[in-house]
Amino acid sequence: MMNKKTVRDLTVSGKRVLVRVDFNVPLKDGVVGDDTRIRAALPTIEYLVEHGAAVILCSHLGRPKGAPDPAYSLEPVAKHLGTLTAAPVRFAGELVGEKARQAVESLQPGEILLLENTRFHPGETDNDPDLSAQLAALADVYVNDAFGSAHRAHASTEGVARHLPSAAGFLMEKEIEYLGGVLADPERPFVAVLGGAKIGDKIGVIRNLIARADHLLIGGGMANTFFKARGDAVGDSLVEDDALETAREFLGNPRLHLPQDCVIADAFDKDAESRVIPAGDVPAGWRILDIGPETVKWYAGILSGAGTVVWNGPMGVFEFPAFAEGTVGIARAVAESGATSIIGGGDSVAAINQSGLADRVTHLSTGGGASLEMLEGKVLPGVAALDEK
Ligand code: ADP
Ligand code: MG
C-alpha cells in the first residue's frame, strides 16, 4: 500500500542522516513531562545508530515567535533522550549556522546530535527555500518521522525533502499504513465513530468517511448541531450555528447515526446535576454532556460486528467522570470488537489511555491534526515530498 521509501530502503552507513522528529513535548521547569513522542521516535533513531549513521535530529517545540526563546529550547529534550538511548546524544544549540555546522562536522557514526528548535527561524513555517537548503546542507539523507507535523508544509517537513534523497521513518510508515490503508481498503463492515467538541473542524472528515464507511456513529458535542439542524430544542448545549446548513446536508443519510438518548446537566460542571433523556428536546438551562446508555448499547452492537473501526473524538465531556461513561463504553466496545481499530485525535487518545484500554487498540495515532487530514482524504505535504519506492 505504501509507495514511499522507508529507512529500510536507504543505505545509511557512514552517512549523515537528518531526521525530522516530533519532539513537541510538554516541558515543566526545564524538564520533559510526558515523553511519549520521544519514545515513539526511538525505533527510527536506534535503527540508524545501529546501521552506522551519524544521526542529526530536528524538531519544533511549542510556538516561539520565529526567534530564539530559551523557554522553547530543545536542550532539556536532548538530556532526556540521553537517558533513553545508549548512543551519545549531543545538543547543537543552533538549527543552522556555524555552531550547527561544526557540531555536525565532529559528529561520528553511531552518535546523535539534536539541533535547536526549528521554529526559532521564521523560515520554518514560511517554508523558506533558503532555510531548507541550509538544513539540507548539514546532511546526506533526509528521513521524516514526524507524522504529527506532516500536514504542514514547513522547511523542515517539506522544503528540505526537495534537496536530499528522502524516506519515511518507522513511525511515519506505521501511521500511513494504518490511516491510509484503512481508507483505501478497509475490512468491512467499516464503522467510523466521530465525536468531540466541534463539528466545524470535522466536516471534511464526515464528508470523506460517510462516503467510505458502512456506519458513521455520531456522539460528543457535534451531535448537538445535528439535533438542532433537525429541529430539536438543544437548551444550552454547545452548538455551532455556522455548521447547521452542512449538518442538514448529511441528516438524511442512512449511514449516519445520531444518539437515541443523552445525558444532560444543569451546568457545565463536574458536580452538575444530571439526567438521562431520550434524544429530542433539551429543557432550557440544561445541556447535553454525554451520550446515554441506550446509545452506548446500540453503538456497541454495531461495533461488535465491525471489521474495521476508526474513532475520532470523545462521546462526551469525559474529563468529568460523571460524563465519561459514553466514551468509556464505546472504548470498551471498540476494544472487544476484534476489529482492526484506529484511534486518532489528542483527546480521543487521552480518553482511551484514561480508560486503560489502549493496548487493545490496533493503532493509536500520534498526530492529531495530521490524522484528521488523513481521514479527510488529503495528501499530507510532508508525506508527498518523500521519495517514491
Ligand atoms: P480530539 O482531540 O480527539 O480530536 P476534540 O478536540 O474534537 O477531540 O474534542 C474533545 C473535546 O470535546 C473534549 O474536551 C470534550 O470535553 C469535548 N466534548 C465532548 N462532548 C461534548 C459535549 N457534549 N459538549 C461539550 N463538549 C464536549
Ligand atoms: Mg482535541
Write out pLDDT tens, residues 53-84: 999 999 999 999 999 999 999 999 999 999 99
Ligand 2 centroid, distance to 384 Cα (angstroms): 25
Interval 138-166 mean pLDDT = 97
The span from the CA of 178 to the CA of 119, in Å, is 29
- Among 317, 342, 352, the mutation site with the greatest number of ligand 1 atoms within 8 A of its Cβ is 317
What is the overall mean pLDDT for the chain? 96
Predicted pLDDT of residue 339: 97
Active site residues: 37, 198, 346, 369
**pTM of the full predicted structure?**
0.90
Ligand 2 centroid, distance to 54 Cα (angstroms): 36
Question: What is the per-residue burial (b if ≥16 Cβ within 10 Å, else e) of 235-252?
Answer: bbbbbbeebbebbeebee
Write out pLDDT tens, residues 276-334: 999 999 999 999 999 999 999 999 999 999 999 999 999 999 999 999 999 999 999 99
Residue found by looking up cell 529534550 in the block: 77
Confidence of residue 176 (pLDDT cuts 50, 70, 90): very high
Q: Which atom of ligand 1 is nearest to the CA of 318?
A: 16
Ligand 1 pocket, Cβ-based, cut-off 6 angstroms: 195-197, 220-221, 238, 288-289, 312-314, 316-317, 319, 345-348, 368
The span from the CA of 88 to the CA of 90, in Å, is 7
Confidence of residue 162 (pLDDT cuts 50, 70, 90): very high
Check whether 163 has a pLDDT greater than 70: yes
87's torsion region: left (phi>0), alpha (psi -120 to 50) or beta? beta
The span from the CA of 173 to the CA of 7, in Å, is 9
Check whether 1 has a pLDDT greater than 60: no
Please tell me the number of the ligand nearest to residue 368's CA. 1
Q: Which atom of ligand 1 is nearest to the CA of 372?
A: 4
Phi, psi angles (nearest 5°) of residue 202:
-125, 15
The span from the CA of 330 to the CA of 326, in Å, is 6
Write out pLDDT tens, residues 204-236: 999 999 999 999 999 999 999 999 999 999 999
3-state secondary structure of 93: coil
Grid cell digits, residue 300? 456497541
Phi, psi angles (nearest 5°) of residue 31:
-125, 140
Closest-CA residue, ligand 1 atom 17, reads 197
Q: Which atom of ligand 1 is nearest to the CA of 317?
A: 16
Write out pLDDT tens, residues 235-288: 999 999 999 999 999 999 999 999 999 999 999 999 999 999 999 999 999 999
Closest-CA residue, ligand 1 atom 9, reads 196
Predicted pLDDT of residue 276: 98
Ligand 1 centroid, distance to 149 Cα (angstroms): 22
Grid cell digits, residue 105? 562536522
Phi, psi angles (nearest 5°) of residue 360:
-105, 10
Ligand 2 centroid, distance to 369 Cα (angstroms): 9
- Among 264, 310, 347, 372, the mutation site with the greatest number of ligand 1 atoms within 8 A of its Cβ is 347
The span from the CA of 330 to the CA of 157, in Å, is 35
Ligand 1 centroid, distance to 198 Cα (angstroms): 7
Q: Which atom of ligand 1 is nearest to the CA of 344?
A: 3
